[in-house]
Amino acid sequence: MPPANPCPPQTAFRHWLQSRGLKHAWVATQLGYTAEYFSRVLRGTTPLTAEFRQRCRHRLSIPDAAWDKE
């Protein structure tokens, strides 16, 4: 049976960034997004897209595992 409250991928990703000391504004700039847009994605108010994840993977070598529940 799946957990009652699975961790959203944005939450897991935010924790992954924090555990590595990566600042959101820096990551947003490296990905070609504004800090505001990046923040909205991490909060879940803007949909997480395949393009967003692909940019993370290709531009910063962020593994798919960063999106998994920690």
Q: What is this structure's pTM? A: 0.80
Phi, psi of 31, deg, nearest 5: -85, -10
The angle at the Cα of 40, spanning 69 to 37, to the nearest 5 degrees, equals 120
The angle at the Cα of 65, spanning 16 to 52, to the nearest 5 degrees, equals 80
Cα distances from 60 to residues 2, 15, 36, 41, 42, in angstroms, run: 31, 16, 19, 17, 16
What pLDDT sits at residue 55?
94
Where do the domains of the chain lie? 21-67
What pLDDT sits at residue 49?
93
User: pLDDT tens digits, residue range 28-66?
Assistant: 999 999 999 999 999 999 999 999 999 999 998 888 888
What pLDDT sits at residue 5?
55
User: pLDDT tens digits, residue range 8-34?
Assistant: 899 889 889 999 999 999 999 999 999
